[in-house]
């Protein structure tokens, strides 16, 4: 074998190692989440590239937890909608004195903070 063939062989071996490591990580993650099925295992084992593995895993990948998603899960998104509607009110009715709207908007922010903070800490 010449140098180019050895380099290609080494590159292919490294790529297969990365695919194998990622496959093991995905299988472990799905097993912990109790989402692993025989069909899914077969599909993951049949994948030969990282992109194929990621395409299979994407719909099952755990989503990031944010404060907003926590609030939505706890049914608190109506308060955010109330705040947004208030901001729209300020935009749609510019003839109303800005001081009055500003004070009212600050009040909405304070109420939202006082209501949401203890509720989020309870869960």
pTM value is: 0.55
**Of 60, 55, 63, whose CA–CA distance to 72 is shortest?**
63
**Structure confidence at residue 32 (pLDDT):** 92
C-alpha distances in angstroms, 9 versus 5, 15, 65? 6, 10, 41
CA distance 33 to 61: 10
Give the residue from 36, 60, 84 where a domain finishes.
60
* Structural domains in the chain (count): 2
Question: pLDDT digits over 63-102, tens only?
Answer: 887 776 776 777 666 655 656 655 655 566 565 555 665 6
Range of the domain at 8: 3-60
Domain shared by 74 and 118, yes or no: yes
Please indicate whether residue 11 or residue 62 has the higher confidence score (pLDDT): 11
Give the residue from 60, 82, 99 where a domain finishes.
60
């Amino acid at each position: 074998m010449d140098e180019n063939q050895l380099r290609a062989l080494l590159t292919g071996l490294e790529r297969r190692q990365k695919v194998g490591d990622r496959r093991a990580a995905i299988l472990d993650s799905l097993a912990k989440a109790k989402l692993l099925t025989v069909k899914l295992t077969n599909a993951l084992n049949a994948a030969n590239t990282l992109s194929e593995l990621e395409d299979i895993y994407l719909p099952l990948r755990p989503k990031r937890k944010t404060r907003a998603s926590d609030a939505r899960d706890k049914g608190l998104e109506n308060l955010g909608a109330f705040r947004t509607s208030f901001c729209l009110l300020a935009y749609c009715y510019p003839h109303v004195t800005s001081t009055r709207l500003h004070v009212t908007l600050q009040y909405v922010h304070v109420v939202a903070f006082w209501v949401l903070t203890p509720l989020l800490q309870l869960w």
